[in-house]
Amino acid sequence: MEKQTSVSNVTLRPIKQSDLEQLFIHQRDPIACQLAQFSPRDREAFFAHWQQNILGQASVLALGIEVDGLLVGNIGHWHMDGQALIGYWIDRAFWGRGVATLTLSAFLPLVASRPLFAHVAKHNIASQRVLQRHGFVNTNGLIQEEDDAAPLFEFVLR
């Protein structure tokens, strides 16, 4: 197996309507879904969710993640059930190359909300480490989100 080289530059930019097809493909990856403990949406549900709940909401900050001009994922900040939350999704082809770490380093200064929460699957050790590198702490709380098959670890940045 070829070793992936680290990425040295990540750019964040607003998500455009034309990006949704690529983001739809990202969220259909069965290995990524298993790691994130997330059930992918079908095309109609995906586009409706993004248009109504993300792009259509002034209170949501959603940015595309680019590496060398290529859209490789997205990161967002929103409020739900009284919590300020963040979440990200990165194309599996870019895992293990530092994209998540660089993305959070660029994104966190854009979000004033504290405490800031992230919910991560118990078996997603890589995302847990990325969050911890940025000051998030595991609260030892378990969160059962609507579409999750099992509870998620709750992390917080104060």
Specify the pLDDT at position 144: 84
40 prior amide bond cis, ω within 30? no
- Distance CA(117)–CA(128), nearest Å, equals 12
Q: What digits encode the pLDDT tens for the residues 97-142?
A: 999 999 999 999 999 999 999 999 999 999 999 999 999 999 999 9
Beta bridge partners of 97: none
| Whether 73 contacts 26, CB under 8 Å | yes
Q: Does residue 2 have a pLDDT over 60?
A: no
* Cα–Cα–Cα angle for 99, 116, 96, rounded to 5 degrees: 15
Q: What digits encode the pLDDT tens for the residues 53-99?
A: 999 899 999 999 999 999 999 999 999 989 999 999 999 999 999 99
Q: What digits encode the pLDDT tens for the residues 19-45?
A: 999 999 999 999 999 999 989 999 999
- Distance CA(82)–CA(92), nearest Å, equals 31
Its pTM stands at: 0.93
Strand (E) positions, the chain? Answer: 11-14, 61-67, 70-80, 83-90, 116-121, 137-143, 152-157
Q: Does residue 1 have a pLDDT over 60?
A: no
Confidence band of 3 (pLDDT split at 50, 70, 90): low
Specify the pLDDT at position 78: 97
Confidence band of 150 (pLDDT split at 50, 70, 90): confident
Specify the pLDDT at position 42: 96
